[in-house]
Amino acid sequence: MWSRMKQGLARAWNVLAKPSVHYSLGFLTLGGFVAGIIFWGGFNTALEAANTEEFCISCHEMRENVYVELQETIHWSNRSGVRATCSDCHVPHDWTYKIARKMQASKEVWGKIFGTINTPEKFEAKRRTLAEHEWARLKKNDSLECRNCHQFESMDFTAQSQRAAEQHSTALASGEKTCIDCHKGIAHHLPDMTGVPGWE
Amino acid sequence: MKKLLALFSLLAVFTLAAAEPQVANLRGPLDLTEEEEAPRMAREVNDDIRTDRDYPMAAPTIPHKIDGYQIDLKANKCLSCHNRQRVEESQAVMVSVTHFMNRDGNFLADVSPNRYFCTQCHASQLDVDPLIDNDFVSMDELFDRAAESH
């Protein structure tokens, strides 16, 4: 089997290495260019489609658990009507990190196919693990997805409550803490918090 | 005679039904079928100013917002600041030591399960005028009155 594969590879290399007989150089370069645009556009469109809320809640695991929980929170409904959707917090905006996250998400496809969290009981059993993944990600990137909207530089401490201003102007300002350290469970229900730092 | 009595009582019932409702209630003097415009939703007090307690065992009110605070078997958002191990960092008021006592009077290391659900006794406050005047008299005032009368 190994030798057959090697043969096949060699044949393919021969075809690629030889100059084209039937197609002109212009056709190949321009055609490649156009095909590239279509491929790239299609790729990004597909990525964007997978970033929409409709896509996320097309699975009942999301629609019936985390999506319902989000609807009780300020990220769903608030005075100014700005709303965060799933990908705003769970998918990095920056391209490189986005691709990395999308590749990670292939594990979620596996989970969907094999029904890892397809009942409320299974979801509850996994809630802590899943939450820990997100806490770890946000801790590592200094709560980047929070900061995409909530910029520290634009925070008006005088408009915050005294307690909030105190914490934000000290622990957050010095970089000693990042958003997720204190703001866990703001968009979804908390898992069992036994042993989580700050929840003794 | 019987017929006349029945007629009169029926008449009495109708006149009573047609009369203005005389009973004072929170809805105001409105007909049953009418509905008063609901008052604006009040804001939760968030000034962190501790309020007066009228007797030593009075559960203190919560002087801040508790919107979306999760208090269940999995997590207790209140205790993430007010628990014994948390107050150094949070500088919040520690829950009263009575909350560490179980029903037999023994002190535990952690908040006793029968004192775990904070909002059973402690409530955040709304910035509104009371619907009904409160004629509660605090014990301090009673002491003052007693001292004056002697």
pLDDT grade, residue B21 (50/70/90)? low
Query: How many CB contacts within 8 angstroms connect chain A with chain B?
Result: 40
C-alpha–C-alpha distance, residues A123 and A69, integer Å: 13
Nearest CB neighbour to B80, from listed A73, A163, A199? A199
- Which structure tokens are listed for A60? 């009942």
Per-residue tokens: A77: 């409904």
Concatenated DSSP letters of B65-105: --TT--BSSS-BTTHHHHSTTTHHHH-PPPPPGGGGB-TTS
pLDDT reading at B13 higher than 70: no
pLDDT band for position B17 (50/70/90)? low
Of A162, A193, A200, the CB nearest to B74: A193
Q: Which residue of A has its CA nearest to B71?
A: A190
Q: Please name which of B33, B42, B39, B91 lies closest in space to residue A170, comparing C-alpha atoms.
A: B91
Q: Which residues of B touch A161 (CB under 8 A)?
A: 46-48, 64-65
pLDDT, position A146 = 94
Who wins on pLDDT, B49 or B14?
Answer: B49
B150 belongs to an annotated ligand binding site: no
Whole-number pLDDT of residue A52: 93
- Pick from A38-42, A105-109, A120-124, B62-66: least confident: A105-109
Domain locations along chain B? 43-50+59-128
Shortest Cα–Cα distance, A173 to chain B (Å) = 16
Confidence (pLDDT) at A73? 94
- pLDDT above 90: residue A32: yes
pLDDT tier for residue B14 given thresholds of 50, 70 and 90: low
Give the CATH superfamily of B43-50+59-128: Flavocytochrome C3; Chain A (1.10.1130.10)
The residues of A whose Cβ lies within 8 A of any Cβ of B are 72-74, 161-163, 185-186, 189-193, 198-200
Number of Cβ within 10 Å of residue A189's Cβ equals: 19
CB nearest to B48's CB, from A163, A191, A199? A163
> Residue A163 and residue B80: Cβ atoms within 8 Å?
no
The pLDDT value given to residue B34? 85
Q: How far is CA B127 from the centre of its chain?
A: 13
In tens, the pLDDT along A141-160 reads 999 999 999 999 999 999 99
CA A85 remoteness from chain centre: 11
- Locate the chain B residue with the closest alpha carbon to A124: B74
| Contact (CB, 8 A) for B123 and B58 | no
For the record, the structure tokens of B14 come out as 């109708």
Interval A13-35 mean pLDDT = 90
Residues of chain A with Cβ-Cβ distance to B68 below 8 Å are 72-74, 186
Nearest by CB to residue B70, choosing from A185, A198, A200, is: A185
Collect all residues of chain A within an 8 Å Cβ-Cβ radius of residue B79: 199
CB–CB contact A191 B64 (8 Å): no
The model's confidence at residue B19, banded by pLDDT at 50, 70 and 90, is low
pLDDT in tens, A47-79: 899 999 999 999 999 999 999 999 999 999 999
Q: Which two tokens stand for residue A139?
A: 């801790």
- How many angstroms away from the CA of A47 is the closest CA of chain B? 33
Which of B80, B110, B124, B127 would you mutate first to test chain A, the one with the most A CBs within 10 A? B80
Q: pLDDT confidence of B25, banded at 50, 70, 90? A: confident
Nearest to B46 among A161, A189, A192 (CB): A161
Question: B80 vs A198: CB contact, 8 Å cut-off?
Answer: yes
Q: Is B105 annotated as a binding residue?
A: no
Given a cut of 60, whether residue B20 has pLDDT beyond it is no
Three-class SS string for chain A? Answer: CHHHHHHHHHHHHHHHHCCCCCCCHHHHHHHHHHHHHHHHHHHHHHHHHCCCHHHHCCCHHHHHHHHHHHCCCCCCCCCCCCCCCHHHHHCCCCHHHHHHHHHHCHHHHHHHHHCCCCCHHHHHHHHHHHHHHHHHHHHHCCCHHHHCCCCHHHCCHHHCCHHHHHHHHHHHCCCCCCHHHHCCCCCCCCCCCCCCCCCC
* 3 state DSSP class of B18: helix
- Report whether B54 contacts B136 (CB < 8 A): yes
Backbone angles phi, psi at A79, to 5 degrees: -65, -35
Q: Is the pTM of this model over 0.90?
A: no
Asked if residue B149 has pLDDT above 90, the reply is no
Among A65-79, A111-125, B21-35, B36-50, which stretch is predicted with the lowest mean pLDDT? B21-35
Q: Are the beta carbons of A189 and B48 separated by less than 8 Å?
A: no
Nearest-angstrom CA–CA distance, B136 and B54: 10
> How much is the ipTM here?
0.79
Q: How far is A32 from chain B (nearest CA, A)?
A: 55
pLDDT at B12: 62
pLDDT digits (tens, 9 = 90+) for B43-83: 899 999 999 898 888 999 999 999 889 999 999 999 999 99
